[in-house]
Amino acid sequence: MRCFVSIDLPDRLAGAVADAQERFADADGLRFVDPDDAHLTLFFLGDVDPDRQAGIEAALERAVEHATVDPFELRVGGFGVFPALDYISVVWAGVRDGAGVAETTRLNGAIERELESLGFEGDDHAFTPHVTLARMDDARGKEVVQRVVRETDPDLGAFRVEEIRLTESALTNNGPKYETLSSIGVRG
């Protein structure tokens, strides 16, 4: 099974995610994420043997404990891209400074340490808390994306983070289908 650890956006923000994606409607070559599936990935595990689930869940429990993060408010807003405006593969909405950045970064660091101790590979770049809006399959709409990212600064809203989730991602012809395998409460 293919898995990741995330903070899921509440259903009430799906409309704001869709509105943010609409700003890129004229950009050819983009493949949009389903707004109902919007989330902030804390760690991507990749393919996981189902027999390892219990060990992963225990590691996530330890990570949350070591991160010493109480439930917190996370505000999503602004646009960005990976890896750079000259070469775009992902379009995202960020986490506003001071509104969840420190907490998500601490959670990511603690999760990464625990899961790396189980043999999973962390990212080779600095963690940037974000919600993926679209993936760019080709550069036809690059100039539109560049203009929107440079000229707009939307606020998608805020919500209280009280848990992280271990999620299975099944790839289908109609896009990924997500199933929550477990939830771990955030507590300081």
Check whether 158 has a pLDDT greater than 70. yes
Q: Model confidence at 187, in pLDDT bands (50, 70, 90)?
A: confident
pLDDT level of residue 115 (50, 70, 90 thresholds) = very high
Q: Report the length, in residues, of the chain.
A: 188
- Structure token pair of residue 3: 């898995």
Q: 75 vs 103, 154, 159, 181, CA distance in Å?
A: 12, 11, 7, 25
Nearest to 92 by CA among 82, 101, 102, 100: 82
- pLDDT, position 188: 63
pLDDT at 64: 96
**C-beta separation of 31 from 90 below 8 A:** no
Q: What pLDDT shows up at residue 97?
A: 78
pLDDT > 70: what percent of the chain? 99
Identify which of 53, 88, 63, 62 has the alpha carbon closest to the alpha carbon of residue 181: 53
pLDDT, tens only, 117-147: 999 998 888 999 999 999 999 989 999 999 9
- Model's pTM, two decimal places? 0.93
Q: 68-97: string of b/e by CB count within 10 Å (b at 16+)?
A: ebeebebbbbbbebbeeeeebeebbbbbbe
Looking at domain 2-185, its CATH class is alpha beta
pLDDT of 152 strictly over 90: yes
Give the model's pLDDT for residue 176. Answer: 84
Report domain extents, the chain. Answer: 2-185
Burial of 3 (C-beta count, 10 Å sphere; 0-12/13-18/19+): buried
pLDDT range class, residue 173, cuts 50, 70, 90:
confident
Q: What is the pLDDT of residue 172?
A: 82
Alpha-carbon distance 60 to 65, whole Å?
A: 9
